[in-house]
């Protein structure tokens, strides 16, 4: 099939290196990602707020929601859905899984 894009699971970080119950910043090449250790499992998004481009890993995280440290926009860390103004655009979520104690992302 000509022009097909191959997607691969890539190693991101060991579970033991995550901030337990928090948001952990991780660089993957030039991509700045946020790994959320939620009450529902591990979820990964681009690290920058869609409103003001602040690093979400510096915001308040309650295990389900991440609050932007700049303007207090609120996002669901599982789905990326914006929940409070001024955030209106969802976070770009990255498919993630845990295999043998390692977080992997699908790119």
Domain boundaries of the chain, sorted by first residue: 9-106
pTM: 0.93
d(CA 35, CA 103): 9
pLDDT in tens, 24-53: 999 999 999 999 999 999 999 999 999 999
What are the backbone dihedrals phi and psi of residue 40, each rounded to the nearest 5 degrees, phi first?
A: -105, 5
What pLDDT is recorded for position 4?
66
pLDDT at position 107 is 86
CATH 3.90.550.60 fits domain 9-106: no
**Residue among 48, 52, 47 nearest 86 (CA):** 52
- Mapped to the 3 state alphabet, what secondary structure does the chain carry? CCCCCCCCEEEEEEHHHCCCCCEEEEEECCEEEEEEEECCEEEEEECECCCCCCEHHHCEECCCEEECCCCCCEEECCCCCEEECCCCCCCCEECEEEECCEEEEEC
Q: Are 63 and 55 in contact (CB under 8 A)?
A: no
pLDDT reported for residue 5 = 67
User: Each residue of 85-107: pLDDT tens digit?
Assistant: 999 999 999 999 999 999 999 98
């Amino acid at each position: 099939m000509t022009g097909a894009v191959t997607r691969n699971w890539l190693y991101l970080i060991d579970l033991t290196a995550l901030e337990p119950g928090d948001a952990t910043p991780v660089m993957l090449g030039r991509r700045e990602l946020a790994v959320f250790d939620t009450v529902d499992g591990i979820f990964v998004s681009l690290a920058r707020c869609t409103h003001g481009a602040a690093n979400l890993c510096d915001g308040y995280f309650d295990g389900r929601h991440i609050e932007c440290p700049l303007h207090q926009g609120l996002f669901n860390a599982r789905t990326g859905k914006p929940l409070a103004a001024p955030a209106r655009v969802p976070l770009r979520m990255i498919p993630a899984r845990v295999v043998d104690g390692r977080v992997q992302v699908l790119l």
